[in-house]
Amino acid sequence: MSTSISICSNALLQLGKAPIASFNEPGDLARLCSNLYGPERDSILRENDWNCAIKREVLAPMSTTPAFGFSAQFALPSDYLRMISIGDWKVGMPTCSRFKVEGRRILASGTALPIVYVFRNDQESTWDSKLVELMTARMLWKLAYPVTQSTTLRDELKDEYIAMAKAARAIDSQENPSEPLSDDYTLITGRM
């Protein structure tokens, strides 16, 4: 079962260092892992619609309304990292244009807002094995220079991470069908 500690420990072992048992243990390696892990986890989760980090919620409007442009505002969930869709409309599609994320709120119109979003999944035991492998590679890359002082090793590990990320994203995306193009999609209507 994967944990943040096992991911960091595996990266440290690959760098020839002893594993850590806790982020709170004394020593520079535990402190370094503690400082890097959370932001790097959030960053890697934001980079893709990982199946193990997707949530659906229907948001209720806040009591205050925006100054102009929209009739309601909705508080983002506390574990929100990135929007995937509003209702059935995927972000980036022409039909999904009447909302705005500002600060920790979504400005929109309506009395309820169904969203699909990437959430901060900090339960690594629920992650796909490829995501665990990718997170280990990312920590290996990020720890390489502080631990070894080698820019060459850091750069090699970054290149390995980038190649591994492409493969992990491709495998993760194969579990979901592609979005069909609709008749109102601009590429289709532009060719008519």
pLDDT digits (tens, 9 = 90+) for 172-181: 888 766 555 5
**pLDDT band at 65, cuts 50/70/90?**
very high
pLDDT digits (tens, 9 = 90+) for 66-107: 999 899 999 999 999 999 998 887 777 766 667 888 999 999
Among left, alpha and beta (phi > 0; psi -120 to 50; other), residue 164 is: alpha
Global confidence as pTM = 0.85
